Amino acid sequence: MESGKILAIFAAAFLLLAGAASAQDACIDCHKIATPSLVKDFKSGAMGKEEVQNPSASKMAGNAAEIPCTSCHGSLHTTSTDFARAKMPTPETCETCHAPKVVEFKAGKHNFAWAAMHAMPTTKDQPKEIIQGQKGCGGCHKMGTKTETGLEKYRYGVASCDSCHTRHSFSTAEARRPEACLPCHMGFDHPQWEMYSTSKHGVIYSVEGSKWDWSKRLSEADYSAPTCQLCHMQNGDHNVITSWGFLAVRLPEKDEKWLANRLEILKALGVLDAKGNPTPRLDVVKAAKVARLTEEEWQALRDKKLKVCYKCHSQTFAKQNLENADAVIKEADVIMADAIKTVKALYADGILPKPSHYAELPSYPYPDLLRFYEVQSPIEQDLYLMFMEYRMRAFQGAFHANPDYMHWYGWAPMKETLVRMKDEAKKLREEAVVKAELEKAKATPAPTPAPAKGICGPTAIAAIAALPLALYALYRRRK
């Protein structure tokens, strides 16, 4: 009796496996025609091998077969016409086999990329191709997990994990190479790839990296220079987060002068209102882990980073090097705060007209740095460039061991831009004086003209008197 039950169980298991194998063959046979490179990628990766290499992944495959396509895409899609019924994987799909890594990922900043993008006040105003179509911001920020509403709106770009482990090979060796970070960590406001690849660390990688064993786990890596992953994903930890965060701000701050400058920046970010009180944006900063808001958290992340540096450098050198980079932020913030106060004063004095989106500004008359390029005057465009391009390059270049990027692409343009902004503010104020004089002259009632001939009236005299001021302002503007 017992032997009969055992035989029945084995028979049922055999039928299930046979059915799964048959379905898998159907997927492969069809996609060899529809998307042959996809099949080739899948077969080249660990999950497409006949003998699954990852013990945890084999739970879904029965230990001796490739991962079935249905494990990730469901079983509703069975023909060439019902492809819309195929399920698109999410991090939760990967979590079935890779739970520890997904838990780590969800604790780090990459998980909040989508939420951080939508927290920007002008994201809603961008063309849908840039966000939903992933041709702009959405192309990188899609790595962040979506809400249920978000999952309903977007069919593609919800997997997150394949941002680094490219589908369908899902290679860990590929994800360990610095180039895996390149598509998102390059360009205008975060040229970390350019900084790293032209730093001494990056040069060693470019010269020697072809000899390194990328199949080894990061905890076993014996590279002769650091990579993005070795520094930011120590021992394979997917909780990617840094002490200074993306915007290089933190609270609290013991240095009073630095704190005063940082408060100006936080007001311009709309995290604090004009009086220094927290705004709802502070809740967004906390939720998306954009900045470290306790000394303990900041120091813990700094100490974690130093452990990587100690593998090649003395403790004294490593600490001093990072403290020098901290000081770069401090000096950059002096310039940044000055620029912010310059624009703020123009708003406060009515030189710059109150913007149409005034009601949305959490800290008016401070400008809103998070509106980026969606501002109304050239001087505010300069302020945006100073913050998002030059200040970013100054502090990121300092931490990525690239003196040239820090200085000539960051620090120097910050100083140049401040000079230009100060001059522009002066011209705007001079023009405002001239405009006020002209308006005053126009508003002055003309008395009954004297009968004497050849004598100008008071209005004409006022207009003539204002003319040199107007010509001078025009000359200054053209110059």
The predicted model gives 342-362 an average pLDDT of 92
**Could you report the per-residue pLDDT of 23-45, keeping only the tens digit for each?**
678 899 999 999 999 999 999 99
Query: Is the whole-model pTM more than 0.95?
Result: no
Q: Spell out the SS3 assignment of 72-88.
A: HHCCCCCCCCCHHHCCC
| Whole-number pLDDT of residue 408 | 98
Q: Is the pLDDT higher at 124 or at 147?
A: 124
| DSSP bridge partners of 250 | 292
Output the pLDDT for position 148: 67
Maximum CA extent, the chain: 134
What are the pLDDT digits (tens) for 426-455?
A: 999 999 999 999 988 888 887 776 665 555
Whether residue 328 is predicted with pLDDT greater than 60 in this model: the reply is yes
- pLDDT band at residue 464 under the 50/70/90 scheme: low
Taking CA atoms, 347 is separated from 28, 203, 377, 428, in Å, by: 63, 47, 11, 11
Element (H, E) at 118: helix 113-119
pLDDT band at 411 (very low <50, low <70, confident <90, very high): very high
Residue 250, SS3? strand
pLDDT for 54 beyond 70: no
**CATH hierarchy code of domain 241-425:** 1.20.850.10
Q: What angle do CA 167, 170, 175 make, to 5 degrees?
A: 110
Q: In this structure, how many other beta carbons lie within 10 angstroms of the beta carbon of residue 242?
A: 18
Residue 6 has a CB neighbour count (10 Å cut-off) of 10
What does pLDDT average to over the chain? 88
Confidence of residue 151 (pLDDT cuts 50, 70, 90): low
- The CA distance from 268 to 194, in Å, is 28
What b/e readout covers 178-210, taking b as 16+ CB neighbours within 10 angstroms? bebbbebbbeeebbbbbbbbbbebbeebeeebe
* pLDDT band at 459; cut points 50, 70, 90: low
Is residue 262 predicted with pLDDT exceeding 80? Answer: yes
Within 8 A by CB and 6+ apart from 446, the residues are 457, 458, 459
Confidence class for position 60, pLDDT limits 50, 70, 90: very low
14 confidence band (pLDDT: 50, 70, 90): very low
Domain limits of the chain?
1-67, 89-170, 241-425, 428-447+454-478
